[in-house]
Amino acid sequence: MPHSQLLEPINNFLQCSTPEQWVEQAIKKENLSVILIDHLICELKAAQSAMFLIRKYAVDKESGDALLAWLKPFETLIYKREGDWRDLAAKNKLTKSIIPKSNSPYGQGLIDKMVLLIKEELHHFYQVLEIMDEYGVEYQSITPCRYAKGMLRHVKTFEPNALVDKLIVGAYIEARSCERFAKLAPHVDKRLGDFYISLLRSEARHYQDYLALAQEIANFDITERISEFGKIEAKLILSADEDFKFHSGTPA
């Protein structure tokens, strides 16, 4: 499938497209490091939040521990600055099968989708590290932008609505990332552009997985809730933003 076809449902799902002013900032040479570092962190966070969801809602303690052990070397690299990033490719594997806990209303379907998603996000994380190495971008810690927090504060506090909302937020983050990779690709050099295009396919599937899971878990029609989060998301993208990051708003 050509990527224009992948993007069509994404562009329909998102209530606005990325402002040109953001693209102009993002393709500047001096912003390459913030874009790459923030992208790197987004990949880790995508893996962490998917893992948090299955640990909280779906698996027994033993499976939860195996999941944590899988993520650990990736987190150690970022949070403790320990380990050689080149070793991480070989560490992206689960040593045990992950099974639903006995009283979980969420079954193997959610677990399998999320485990695949985590594996892909950790692979992307590794690929961003490779790119950073090639472009001579050194990792340094940066502050998170307002985007994810700006959506998560609208998440309901009771179940299953809280989980449904988190899955919808996950879908928006994936979809927006996908849209931005496609916007950036034609303006950056070939190596980076090809990498962004290679991410579209999996991120497009991730957004659909999140939505399908949200609808599966909800005992109500989620259409209305999707459009509420769509409005919140569009506002975060279109309104002026002092901060410049991968998911920031219109550069102020």
How many residues of this chain bind Fe ion (CB under 5 A)?
Answer: 7
The token pair at 198 is 């290679």
- DSSP H/E element including 169: helix 161-184
**The dihedral formed by the CA atoms of 204, 206, 212 and 218, expressed in degrees to the nearest 10:** -130
Rounded to whole angstroms, the Cα distance separating 151 from 231 reads 10
241 in contact with Fe ion (CB under 5 A): no
124 in contact with Fe ion (CB under 5 A): yes
Instruction: Considering only the stretches 43-51, 164-172, 183-191, 241-249, report the one whose residues sit in contact with Fe ion under the rule CB under 5 A.
Output: 43-51
Rounded to whole angstroms, the Cα distance separating 42 from 144 reads 9
Rounded to whole angstroms, the Cα distance separating 158 from 219 reads 13
The token pair at 54 is 């299955």
206 in contact with Fe ion (CB under 5 A): yes
Q: Binding to Fe ion (CB under 5 A): which residues in 75-94?
A: none
DSSP string, 31-92: GHHHHHHHHHHHHHHHHHHHHHHHHHHTB-HHHHHHHHHHHHHHHIIIII--S-GGGHHHH-
59/199 with CB nearer Fe ion: 199
121/179 with CB nearer Fe ion: 121
41/137 with CB nearer Fe ion: 41
244/246 with CB nearer Fe ion: 246
Residue 77 exposed, middle or buried by CB count within 10 Å (0-12, 13-18, 19+):
buried
22/210 with CB nearer Fe ion: 210
39 in contact with Fe ion (CB under 5 A): no
121/239 with CB nearer Fe ion: 121
179 in contact with Fe ion (CB under 5 A): no
- Interface residue with Fe ion among 203, 209, 233, 241 (CB under 5 A) is 203
176/225 with CB nearer Fe ion: 176
Least CB distance to Fe ion at residue 203 (A) = 5
Least CB distance to Fe ion at residue 83 (A) = 21
Q: Is the peptide bond before 160 cis (omega within 30 degrees of 0)?
A: yes
Rounded to whole angstroms, the Cα distance separating 48 from 70 reads 11
Rounded to whole angstroms, the Cα distance separating 29 from 206 reads 30
Least CB distance to Fe ion at residue 51 (A) = 13
121 in contact with Fe ion (CB under 5 A): yes
Instruction: Considering only the stretches 28-36, 113-121, 213-221, 242-250, report the one whose residues sit in contact with Fe ion under the rule CB under 5 A.
Output: 113-121
209 in contact with Fe ion (CB under 5 A): no
User: What residues line the site for Fe ion (CB under 5 A)?
Assistant: 43, 46, 121, 124, 174, 203, 206
